[in-house]
Structure 1
Amino acid sequence: MNRSFKATVVAAAFCAVAGAGVVGYGGVAVGAQKSSGAEKASGAQESAGVREFSGGQKIRVGGYSVNVSCSGRAVGREPVVMLMAGGGDGLETMRPLQKSLSKKGRVCSYDRLGEGESDKPKGLQSIDDSGRILSGVLDRVVGKRPVVLAGHSMGGLIAARYAPDHRDRVKGLVLMDATIPALTAGINKAIPASATGMAADLRDQTIAVNEGQNPERFVIADAAVRSVGSIPVQIIKHESQYSEVPGYGPALERMWADGQRQWLALSHRSSTSTAAGSGHYVHVDRPDIAVKAIKRVTAQAARHH
């Protein structure tokens, strides 16, 4: 992974209109590889009304074509894991993680509207719009099985906002450096209007992206954290990301750390940790930590389901 400032601090957070990025969105695809033809829908069978397939497949959800990838087999009462990439990223960035996890369970991922090989949205999207697409995907590829949502960056925020209204199906959460609950307020506090240069650009780009200037046309609104009850929730934070922002690195790190702690309010069984040696792409820099956390939450969810 490129360790330069533009690739990790700016571009690794939000994919902006001109290809640069800002805080907390996702960024450029890291270590991604396109699916080969042999991987496309390599096998399928019917299971409880759900077409269980392996590889990639396009499905129709809410009038859109949505690109989905699934692998592995469901085991006993274990939930299916749904991986959710960050903003500006397609499911390809989750492929190595999916490959590792699917050795002992069922794992899927999908491109949200505007990302990867899915259709572009027709207009601005709210969290409810994104949730309807996620519900449609889960209906088609998971069915009535319980699910663990494991999201990076913006994918983590969407997972955390979705879960409280879908307690019947979401039985665990893993948030990998998830976008914080109140990013617009946080960035305005961390980088004041008097800032100039790189810091001011970072603030302005972040706010613009939050208003919908991103590939998904997704409006990222600040909101309080809502409880999802007592499901297992693992929150993983990066170790270092903002050290190269002149004058404002420490304030940005405090903002991000405070936001990660706010996600603890999701559940009575929430815990937080820092992935040593990682930047924003926790699952790329420390896949061992990401895999361990997802396996642990999935096992806990299976025991209590």
Structure 2
Amino acid sequence: MFRTVKTAALTALSAAVLGAGLVGCDGEDLENWDPLAASPKAEAATFTGDEKLDVDGKSVNVSCSGELADGKPVVVLLHGAGDGVDKLAALQKSVSAEYRVCSYDRLGSGASAKPDGPQSFDSTGKVLTGVLDQVAGDRPVVLAGHSLGGLIAARYAPDHTDRVKGLVLMDATPAMMTTDVSRIIPESATGPAAELRAQNIAVAQGQNPEQLVMKDGPVKSAGSIPVEVIKHGQPYLAAVPQYGQGLEDAWTAGQKKWLELSSASKLTVAEKSGHYVYVDQPDVAVKAIGGVAEKAAAA
């Protein structure tokens, strides 16, 4: 029993933490030039299934389904640490009944190339931008991330509100995860708690397949885009001896902190779910993504 709980906790905490248009114009061009005319939109990829896309010279495995539709955003799913597009397949299929949906293996994950060295939120964000350029073009995007994928989406969105028009965070890794774990589980701890603390710190320092260094930081504002934060309802972290309730309380506080991303944020508790909300209660995840996408389309 405890071994199962400890594995779940390690997965959640450690893995979770884991004017140019005028140039060259002749007289006729200038005479017919309309400064209010919309510039041509970048085309979004229309493939279905998995394809390897080139992003800054790196092979990135991307899976897409559903149809592009005018007025609707493209939904992009971000997996947790240690997972990949295969884990998100069922969720992607459900959401794609109404929306164009894509997911991708980050560098170091799944079928994508390995990173050249340590990654930061900035560098992994650049890969995300490269993927969005190809799968969404100039269309609006809704990001839906689980665990570490939620943390990456939440760090990315505030600086890219020109294209990210909605967020769904599925039990996303809190913004101050490493600080919280180090505070709650002291350096003097022994046994499973000490293992949990050490692994969490190591993963945050980049000892993970993505080589992603996950620095704690404040929650930045993404304005008024629709945001839905989904928290697990089954308190599995509380089963960690001595420090479990503190970890649960910190995780809950971290989910509430994500509400500061937007003035249009909402917290939902998936009462029957552990860390993998979209697996345990897929209906909750699908409803949240659809709701945020609908609001994004109406904005």
- The normalised TM-score by structure 2 is 0.89
* 2:78 maps to 1:84: yes
The answer as to 2:288 corresponding to 1:269 is no
| Equivalent residue number for residue 143 of structure 1 | 137
**Cα distance in 1 for residues equivalent to 2:89 and 2:154:** 22
Higher relative contact order (CA 8 A, sep 6+): 2
One-letter amino acid matched to 1:270: S
Matched, 1:51 2:22: no
SS state of the match for residue 263, structure 2?
Answer: strand
Q: How does 1:132-281 map to 2 (within 5 A)?
A: 132-239=126-233, 240-281=235-276
Q: In the TM superposition, what whole-angstrom CA distance separates every residue of 1:152-210 from its partner, at most 9, and x where no partner exists?
A: 00000000000111111000000000010011110011111221100011011000000
Shift in Å, 1:243: 2.5
Which entry has the higher C-alpha Rg, 1 or 2?
2
Aligned with residue 115 of structure 1, among 94, 109, 113: 109
In structure 2, give the amino acid aligned to 1:150.
A
Structure 1 residue 66: Cα displacement:
0.1
CA contact (8 A) 1:159 1:173 kept: yes
What CA distance in whole angstroms lies between the structure 2 residues aligned with 1:256 and 1:50? 37
- 1:37-48 equivalences under 5 Å are 48=42
Shift of 1:102: 0.5
Could you tell me which runs of 5 or more consecutive residues in structure 2 were left unpaired when the two chains were aligned: 19-40
State the alpha-carbon separation in 2 of the partners of residues 52 and 14 from structure 1: 36
Task: Give the drift of 1:136.
Answer: 0.2
Of 208-217 and 270-279, more deviation after overlay is shown by 270-279
> After TM superposition, which residue ranges in structure 1, 4 or more long, deviate above 6 angstroms?
none
Alignment of 1:15-94 (within 5 A): 15=15, 24-25=16-17, 48-94=42-88
Tell me if structure 2 keeps the 8 A contact 1:124–1:212: yes
Deviation at 1:264, TM superposition (A): 0.8
User: 1:12, CA displacement in angstroms?
Assistant: 4.3
| Distance of 1:65 and 1:207 partners within structure 2 | 29
The code of the aligned residue for 1:300 comes to K
Give the CA deviation at 1:51.
Answer: 2.6
Deviation of 1:133 (Å): 0.1
1:76 is displaced (CA, Å) by 2.6
Identity across matched positions, percent? 55
Q: Could you tell me how far 1:48 is from its partner in structure 2?
A: 5.0
Letter in 1 for 2:130: G
Q: Could you give the per-residue CA deviations for residues 75-119 of structure 1, whole angstroms, max 9, x where no partner exists?
A: 231111000000111111110000001111100000000000000
Which structure has greater strand proportion?
A: 1
Alignment of 1:3-14 (within 5 A): 4-14=4-14
- 1:62: how far off? 1.3
Q: How many aligned positions are there?
A: 274
Aligned partners of 1:25 and 1:88 also within 8 Å? no
Larger helix proportion of the pair: 2
- Rounded Cα–Cα distance in structure 2 between residues aligned with 1:229 and 1:87: 27
TM-score, reference length from structure 1: 0.87
| Equivalent pair of 2:46/2:68 in contact (CA under 8 Å) | no
Instruction: Tell me the amino acid that sits aligned with residue 275 of structure 1.
Output: A
